[in-house]
Amino acid sequence: MIAYLDGKPVMTGDRWVVMEVNGIGYRVHVPEPEIREIAHAPGNVRLHTYMAVREDAITLYGFLYESELEMFTVLLGVSGIGPQISLNILSQITLEDFVVAILSEDEKSLTRISGIGQKGAKRLILELRDKMKKVQAAMAPIPTGKNEQAIRDAASALVSLGFADNASYDAVKTAAKGLTSPSIQDLIKAALLHLKEGERR
């Protein structure tokens, strides 16, 4: 199992990059938005990887951020969602907007993703909402005095998506400080941005 690659990107294409590590070139499939970031990197790049093994192929998928890898593995657990559709999801919608689409049952946003039809959108919502322990509807503002409960609910949603307990709680708590009367959706979206920023440091 290859957990990550730390090397120089020597070639990029349509959602793939060749990483040179100790004289060996590894072809890695990556989300489209990250191709540009990798191509303009001044030096070495670290990609967190997932290795898919089939009878006829071994394929590497790579991500600049651990949060993206965690979401990728969660998506693979959904019925009918394989590596290519998971990569489509991470290429065509931000992680934050995807989580909000699941929580708000926004099928229209999900069906804009290549390979996701109406049935697939319904399945994603059903299975991922279950993983998030049926987080309460998050459209309404949080009542005064309920902030701590909202923080726990938002952190619980992130944990159910594969993020670490402490990191999820800390990210949501930090996000809450900068928001006025946020919904749980707002907290989750802001916390995901905070987690990603933390990975860049």
CATH homologous superfamily, domain 4-63: Nucleic acid-binding proteins (2.40.50.140)
Q: Measuring CA to CA, which residue among 63, 78, 75 is closest to residue 32? A: 63
Instruction: Classify residue 36 as exposed, middle or buried by CB count within 10 Å of its CB (0-12, 13-18, 19+).
Output: exposed
Q: Where in the chain is the domain with CATH 1.10.150.20?
A: 68-131
Q: Where in the chain is the domain with CATH 1.10.8?
A: 147-200
| DSSP E strand boundaries for 31-180 | 45-53, 58-63
> What region, left, alpha or beta, does residue 131 occupy, with left being phi > 0 and alpha being psi -120 to 50 degrees?
alpha
What pLDDT is stored for residue 136 in this prediction? 38
Q: Is the pLDDT of residue 201 over 50?
A: yes
List C-alpha distances in Å: 136 to 2, 132, 156, 157, 175. 37, 10, 11, 10, 19
Q: CA 52, CA 33: separation in Å to the nearest integer?
A: 21
Q: What's the pLDDT tens digit per position in 67-95? A: 889 889 989 999 989 999 999 999 999 88
Q: What's the pLDDT tens digit per position in 6-45? A: 999 999 998 999 999 999 999 999 998 888 889 888 889 9
Q: What's the pLDDT tens digit per position in 171-196? A: 888 888 877 777 777 888 888 888 87
What pLDDT is stored for residue 63 in this prediction? 94
The structural architecture, per CATH, of the domain 68-131 is: Orthogonal Bundle (1.10)
Q: Where in the chain is the domain with CATH 2.40.50.140?
A: 4-63
What pLDDT is stored for residue 200 in this prediction? 60
What pLDDT is stored for residue 150 in this prediction? 77
Fold of 147-200: Helicase, Ruva Protein; domain 3 (1.10.8)
Span 86-113, average pLDDT: 89
Q: What's the pLDDT tens digit per position in 143-166? A: 444 567 778 888 888 887 778 888
Q: What does the mean pLDDT of the chain come to?
A: 84
What does pTM read for this prediction? Answer: 0.69
